[in-house]
Amino acid sequence: MEPGNLTRASEFILLGFSEEPALQPLIFGLFLSMYLITVLGNLLIILAVSSDSHLYTPMYFFLSNLSLVDISVTSTTVPKMLVNIQTQSKRITYEGCISQTYFFSLFAVLDDLLLTVMAYDRFVAICHPLHYTVIMNPRLCGLLVLVSWITSALHSLLENLLLLRLTFCTDLEIPHFFCELNLMAQLSCSNNFLNNIVMYIITVLLGGGPLAGIIYSYSKIVSSIHAIPSAQGKYKAFSTCASHLSVVSLFYCTSLGVYLGSAATQSSHSSAAASVLYTVVTPMLNPFIYSLRNKDIKGALKRFFGMAAIKKQLC
């Protein structure tokens, strides 16, 4: 590469989904609607858990943290894309791109780790019900969430420090709607071999490790449920983890589908469209999955809005 083709990048171009002007209002309206539904739905989960003392349990403590992370991971990517469509500008500063990469990586890994922690919680609840309150005490719950945050932050910091050492070419177009770590590394003109090696190792550790933990937990859960003599007892035990299992399946199926599909098609626009599944659609659907068949959440929301209506009348 000639020296004239190297630059200290000051900004990048986010190509997004389509360059057709006629499609921009449709894309804007669709993503704005999904973003508002995601924020509202997850905020309702957090309000329900925090306002009702009946939900002060480890399962709902982890669920409120998961809802907070879902809001954060969507807020990292979608608002910038909406601003770019509204202002008809696809530019993002170098600093903004690096920050977006850091926070998206942070919240995506944190989402994965929290799902693993929730699987462990269900494992203890079903396989060791008599010792559940002793094992899943508030100190351990707080420690599990804290370790998840620290692990995610250190991972994102390592990835970004490796990204900062790269030199970028004059072609700074990112075929995506946000600054994705792998695409950023591919744009580099310098040797990104170390970045790729670290990325693959971390993917195995922070992707395969939690997945193995979830599979192990549910294998033990299935064995315990199978040993329950009554059909009603089996149904009650399974219903306590059905929502979490649905969210785990949605998260991993969309994530694996994106990466396997992008590797097969080699199409950047197809990869960007598929990424919507785990960056926007999954966080949007999680509140519905956890609340539609959950009587505790429904009851807490009814009591919350009932108290709000009473206070309004008194005022």
Q: How confident is the model at residue 270 (pLDDT cuts 50, 70, 90)?
A: low
Q: What is the spatial distance between Cα 244 and Cα 196, in angstroms, rounded to a whole number?
A: 32
Residues whose CB falls within 8 Å of the CB of residue 215, separated by 6 or more in sequence, listed in order = none
309 domain-assigned: yes
Q: What is the pLDDT of residue 308?
A: 60
Is residue 139 in a domain?
yes
Q: Is residue 1 part of a domain?
A: no
Instruction: Tell me what pLDDT residue 268 has.
Output: 58
- For residue 173, the model assigns a pLDDT of 86
Q: What is the 3-state secondary structure (H, E, C) of the chain?
A: CCHHHEECCCEEEECCCCCCHHHHHHHHHHHHHHHHHHHHHHHHHHHHHHHCHHHCCHHHHHHHHHHHHHHHHHHHHHHHHHHHHHHCCCEEEHHHHHHHHHHHHHHHHHHHHHHHHHHHHHHHHHHCHHHHHHHCCHHHHHHHHHHHHHHHHHHHHHHHHHHHCCCEECCCEECCCCCCHHHHHHHECCCCHHHHHHHHHHHHHHHHHHHHHHHHHHHHHHHHHHHCCCHHHHHHHHHHHHHHHHHHHHHHHHHHHHHHHHHHHCCHHHHHHHHHHHHHHHHHHHHHHHHHCCHHHHHHHHHHHHHHHHHHHHC
Are the beta carbons of 82 and 35 closer than 8 angstroms?
yes
Residue 50 lies inside a defined structural domain of this protein: yes
Distance CA 201, CA 147 (A): 20
Residues 35-82 pLDDT 10s: 999 999 999 999 989 988 888 999 999 999 999 999 999 999 999 999
Q: Looking at the predicted structure, is the pLDDT value of residue 104 above 90?
A: yes
Q: What pLDDT is stored for residue 313 in this prediction?
A: 67
Q: Which two tokens stand for residue 114?
A: 């929290």
Residue with tokens 């599979």: 215
Which CATH number characterizes residue 187's domain? 1.20.1070.10
What is the residue range of 261's domain?
Answer: 10-314
The pLDDT of residue 254: 79
Q: What is the pLDDT of residues 283-311, one digit of tens each?
A: 999 998 888 768 888 787 788 777 666 66
Tokens at 273, concatenated: 């469209």
- Identify the H or E element spanning 12: strand 11-14
Lowest mean per-residue pLDDT among 25-29, 254-258, 281-285:
254-258
197, part of any domain? yes
Q: Which amino acid is at 164?
A: L
pLDDT at 186: 83
Residue 93 pairs in a beta bridge with 11
Residue (of 41, 6, 178, 19) closest to 98 by Cα position: 178
- Distance separating alpha carbons of residues 165 and 62, to the nearest angstrom: 36
**Which pLDDT band, with edges at 50, 70 and 90, does 6 fall under?**
very low
Conformational region of residue 89, where left means phi above 0, alpha means psi within -120 to 50, and beta covers everything else = beta
- Average pLDDT value for the chain: 86
Q: Which of 29-33, 91-95, 196-200, 276-280 has the highest mean pLDDT?
A: 29-33
CB atoms within 10 A of CB 256: 13
Q: pLDDT tens digit string along 221-242?
A: 999 999 888 888 888 888 888 8
Among 247-251, 262-266, 274-278, whose mean pLDDT is lowest?
Answer: 262-266
In the chain, how many domains are there? 1
- Provide mean pLDDT across the span 250-277: 69
Q: Does residue 3 belong to any structural domain of this protein? A: no
Residue 87 lies in a domain: yes
Dist CA 9 CA 208 (whole Å): 34
List the end-to-end C-alpha distance of the chain, in Å, as a whole number: 71
User: Is residue 100 predicted with pLDDT exceeding 70?
Assistant: yes
- pLDDT tens digits for range 164-223: 988 887 768 888 899 988 888 888 888 888 998 998 899 889 989 999 999 999 999 999
User: What CA dihedral angle connects 89, 91, 96 and 101, to 10 degrees?
Assistant: 110
Structure-block tokens of residue 35: 């973003």
**Residue 2 lies inside a defined structural domain of this protein:** no
Give the CA radius of gyration of the chain.
Answer: 22
**pLDDT band at residue 3 using 50, 70 and 90 as cut-offs:** very low
- pLDDT surpasses 80 at 92: yes
Residue range 86-105: mean pLDDT, rounded: 92
